């Protein structure tokens, strides 16, 4: 085969592989053109920038929460007849909890991205015999979670207006007749609209990473796993 023919084939391969755009454009594509984004991430996986965006949005949300609101909600969790020593202990713990809260905002998204990426690889690589690369799965997962992080920021005006950190755009808004003390309420409150959106995006990502998998089936698995996780979490939720 001549050098001209080899050059022609290589040029054709480069044309077929979508070029990875800059991070700001990728953020927009998460919302407007996820399939195009995931195709590019499959061949050129980049996840650190997206993970930093997720962390950055979380830090902005934390910065917007008034310290007094956190204090009031912590004290509200105590019984009305709580002794002064217990109140003082809660107020003393506030300093430590603030450090934990800020550290968690940085660490938790990374752990979450790793966990979800591992779940995808377990299901579609280990069990179903797929061959997606870990770096590509990580890249798609990190970018998908930008929607989840943006949801926290979008929810903040409502949180501040209601002065309630438990405020979310969750499916419990569709069931106002449920009592807040019931398991059903806690379960529905855990099903966050932005969380479901993120799972659907991950399903689309799986369909691009594994050509034989449809977006519908992959999204069903991801949303189903999310629902099961929230159903278990609702058992232990104090809400």
Give the separation between CA 201 and CA 111, rounded to whole angstroms. 19
The pTM score is 0.85
- Provide the residue-wise pLDDT of the chain in tens; the chain has 239 residues: 444 443 443 444 434 667 899 999 999 999 999 999 999 999 999 999 999 999 999 999 999 988 777 777 776 666 666 677 776 776 677 777 788 888 999 999 999 999 999 999 999 999 999 999 999 999 999 999 999 999 999 999 988 888 877 778 888 888 888 887 888 888 988 899 999 999 999 999 999 999 999 999 999 999 999 999 999 998 887 65
Residues 217 and 113: their CA atoms lie apart, in Å, by 21
């Amino acid at each position: 085969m001549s050098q001209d023919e080899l050059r022609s084939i290589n040029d054709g391969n480069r044309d077929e592989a979508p070029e990875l755009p800059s991070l700001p454009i990728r953020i927009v594509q998460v919302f407007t053109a996820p399939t195009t984004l995931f195709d590019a991430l499959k061949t050129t996986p980049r996840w650190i920038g997206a993970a930093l965006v997720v962390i950055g949005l979380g830090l902005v949300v934390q910065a917007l929460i008034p310290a007094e609101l956190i204090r009031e909600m912590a004290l509200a969790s105590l019984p009305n007849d709580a002794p002064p020593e217990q109140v003082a202990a809660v107020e003393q713990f506030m300093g430590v909890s603030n450090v934990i809260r800020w550290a968690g905002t940085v660490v938790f998204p990374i752990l979450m991205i790793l966990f979800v990426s591992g779940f995808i690889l377990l299901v579609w690589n280990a069990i179903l015999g797929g061959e997606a690369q870990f770096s590509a799965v990580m890249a798609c997962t990190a970018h998908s979670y930008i929607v989840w992080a943006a949801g926290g920021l979008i929810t903040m005006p409502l949180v501040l207006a209601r002065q309630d950190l438990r405020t979310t755009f969750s499916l419990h808004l569709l069931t106002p007749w449920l009592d807040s003390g019931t398991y059903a309420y806690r379960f529905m409150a855990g099903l966050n609209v932005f969380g479901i959106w993120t799972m659907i995006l991950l399903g689309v990502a799986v369909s691009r990473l594994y050509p034989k998998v449809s977006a519908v089936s992959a999204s069903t698995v991801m949303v189903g796993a999310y629902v099961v996780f929230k159903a278990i979490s609702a058992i232990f939720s104090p809400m």
